[in-house]
Amino acid sequence: MKVRVIAVGKIKESYINQGIDEFIKRLQRHTSLEVIEVKDEKISGNLSSSEMNQIKEAEGEKIIEKMDNRSYTIALDPQGKPMSSEGLAKSVGNLQLQGYSSIEFIIGGALGLHEKVRKSADYILSFSHMTFTHQMARLILLEQVYRAFKIMKNEPYHL
């Protein structure tokens, strides 16, 4: 199964990039992985809710342009449904059985996802009730996808 990650913004912190690079390397043994970055919008001081929505909408348009309507799409959002690592592994396995050849994960920008993106997704996933930066979310996602493939293959996983 091919895995695509569509994420808003570039990763600026080297320590996060190192972790991401490590999990990309590990995932190459299990799947074809593509990470697509879309440019984030500039965020200035105190924004009104209308301005925040305009930023999310602009970023959302860029995300939607990159989405593949043949893929099963999972959007990451704090308001989504939680899932265990084992649940993610089971879901990915079930998607393969249902005939999906690719799955894509969507990570919004600093302000989150626009409603159009949420509505375009097949599933809305929440990692936690805690808040993570969108940059950390990418690292956590790649680690969890790697863990899912290890679980599906009944292989042990220890860092």
Residue ranges of the annotated binding site for S-adenosyl-L-methionine are 76, 108, 127-132
Q: With CA atoms as reference, report the closest residue to 148 among 74, 81, 78, 92.
A: 92
Binding-site annotation, residues? 76, 108, 127-132
Q: What's the residue count for the chain?
A: 159
Give how far Cα 15 sits from Cα of 20, 21, 37, 46, 94, Å. Answer: 9, 10, 18, 29, 34
Q: Evaluate the CA torsion angle 150, 151, 156, 158 in order and state its sign.
A: positive
Structure tokens at 102: 């690719």
Query: What is the C-alpha separation between 91 and 87, in angstroms, rounded?
Result: 6
Work out whether the CA dihedral 41, 46, 49, 50 comes out positive or negative.
negative
Read off φ and ψ for residue 127, nearest 5 degrees: -75, -35
Using only C-alpha atoms, the chain has a radius of gyration, in whole angstroms, of 15
